[in-house]
Amino acid sequence: MKKVRTRFAPSPTGYMHIGNLRTALFEYLIAKHEGGDFLLRIEDTDQGRKVEGATDIIYNTLKMVGLQHDEGPDIGGDYGPYIQSERIGMYKEYADRLVELGGAHYCFCSEEEVETQRKEAESFNKAFKYDDPCKHIPLEEAKKRIAAGEPYVVRQTIRHGGATHFDDEVYGRIEVDNDVLDESILLKSDGFPTYNFANIIDDHQMKITHVVRGNEYLSSTPKYNLIYESFGWEIPTYIHVPHVMKDEHHKLSKRNGDASFQDLVTKGYLPQAILNYIALLGWSPETEQEIYTLEEMVKAFSIKRISKSPAIFDIDKLTWMNGMYLRAMSLEEFHALCEPYLCQAIHRDVDRKAVSRILQPRTDTLAQIAESVDFIDTLPDYSIEMFIHKKMKTTYEISLTSLKAARKALEELNDWSTEERIHDLLLTLPAQLGMKNGQVLWPVRTAITGKQFTPGGAIEITHILGKEETLRRIDKGIEKLETEA
């Protein structure tokens, strides 16, 4: 059985789009599920769209999510170069051979001639398909014109009549009438190949067995197969995947302001969680399991489970999944991730690991940390209405009584070394005051944080703030209630 070989072939045009990363993941899973090879190839023949530093972004993204390629520009391999612009001379040789085989022809038409036909098609409200008169030029005559220095391109030659079909692993049998196939340019006048040509040559030379790409290429694949057939090459297995959508009508697009992989990482999402989530965009496992390690994905992945329907990117689902990843970590792992955020958000001398401990059960993205703990440095200006909580059954009077009792008890506590001592002390107060636990703890938490929602409760936060700061904030809460209630 032939070894499975897949390739991720991005263009270095900027950030890593979610759809591109999902394609890379599916290619990786297909190869590794079968014990095959996963290649990285940089397709940079469109020099006008190339962005400085974009290739490094590709390398870094794959490294961050753990998609280690077996061959590529940075590590080499038996089928390089793995950057298309370093293979330029080879494409012309193949283009000339394809002309000799009858699968292509030299075209000398100007852009004005092509545009004239385009406008004519538009005037009749017809789909444009260039009818190239140059395909009737005898080959020897065309070669003489080239030798004389006349500019030219190489266009594919598609014979009229009949149909071309292929079998896609997701969409099944696809058949297209040859008469609707456009004779597109394969080699431009500057000697650079178009995507439609270069990827065929590269895939053949690199012995790619499975090609994964977006379903927008379904209609172009018959043209690719005609080139394979002209050369007498084996056609790869095709896996066309549906789009990742923003909603039912719009594709996810960086151009429209939708998040790239880098944007999501900046917003505090873990690379592993992002990868896990996008695996489920268009692929459904056989079980109800949703949280997967990369190794588990490799074992579970099946091409047959890829959906034909577009997948809608749900940021809420990703946020939930990211929270699951954070809560599954050890405290040490979580604190290591939190430390940079805590250093920026907290300048008071507190036990940051204790802060991480109260954050972990309540944090879904790392970007939430700063807002969650901003009260530690500075007590926000809050209204006394926050002391009223229907569920906790607090009133202004109950809150004032609770704060005064808590202040007196905490002031007398000399040992603040452990959270347990504060816990035991504060939980004796409700019985003494004839109140519920919440009627004491809610006013204390409100006074020391000034917020309705915080990571951790009154006891945990009191321990983190320390005795002096806790008493100062409770005094402020008492003052508010006495003067404003």
Domain count, the chain: 4
Contacts of 437 (CB under 8 A, 6+ apart): 427, 430
pLDDT band at 123 (very low <50, low <70, confident <90, very high): confident
Contacts of 405 (CB under 8 A, 6+ apart): 429, 432, 433, 440
pLDDT band at 45 (very low <50, low <70, confident <90, very high): confident
**Which among 204, 226, 241 is the end of a domain?**
241
The region of weakest confidence among 119-123, 175-179, 390-394 is: 119-123
411 and 369 fall within a common domain: no
Q: How would you classify residue 330: left for phi > 0, otherwise alpha for psi between -120 and 50, otherwise beta? A: beta
Is residue 419, in this structure, part of any structural domain at all? yes
pLDDT score at 306: 96
User: Pick the catalytic residue: 32, 251, 254, 480?
Assistant: 254
Q: Which residue's entry shows tokens 């209405």?
A: 385
pLDDT score at 268: 96
Residue 52 has pLDDT above 90, yes or no: no
**Which among 178, 211, 241 is the end of a domain?**
241
pLDDT score at 254: 67
Q: Angle between the 352-359 and 331-345 helix axes, to the nearest 10 degrees?
A: 110
Answer yes or no: 254 catalytic: yes
230 and 276 fall within a common domain: no
Q: Please tell me the distance from the alpha carbon of residue 271 to that of residue 275, in angstroms, as a whole number.
A: 6
227 and 122 fall within a common domain: yes
389: helix, coil or strand? Answer: strand
pLDDT score at 179: 85
Is residue 317, in this structure, part of any structural domain at all? no
pLDDT band at 257 (very low <50, low <70, confident <90, very high): low
pLDDT tens for 222-234 read 999 999 999 999 9
Alpha helix ranges (H) inside 254-314: 261-266, 271-279, 294-300
Q: Are 337 and 369 in contact (CB under 8 A)?
A: no
268 and 254 fall within a common domain: yes
Spatial CA neighbour of 129 closest among 248, 256, 219? 219
408 and 455 fall within a common domain: yes
Q: Please tell me the distance from the alpha carbon of residue 172 to that of residue 32, in angstroms, as a whole number.
A: 23
Residue 251 has pLDDT above 90, yes or no: no
Residue 320 has pLDDT above 80, yes or no: yes
Give phi and psi for 287, each to the nearest 5. -115, 180
**Which among 282, 312, 342 is the end of a domain?**
312
Is residue 323, in this structure, part of any structural domain at all? no
Q: What is residue 48's DSSP assignment?
A: G
Q: Identity (one letter) of the amino acid at 124?
A: F
422 and 441 fall within a common domain: yes
287 and 149 fall within a common domain: no
Is residue 379, in this structure, part of any structural domain at all? no
The arithmetic mean of pLDDT across residues 77-85, rounded, is 95
Q: Are 381 and 450 in contact (CB under 8 A)?
A: yes
Alpha helix ranges (H) inside 34-177: 54-65, 88-101, 111-123, 139-147
Residue 256 has pLDDT above 70, yes or no: no
Spatial CA neighbour of 278 closest among 301, 311, 246? 311
Q: Is the full-model pTM beyond 0.75?
A: yes
Inter-CA distances, 481 with 48, 295, 392, 401, 411, Å: 66, 57, 17, 10, 20
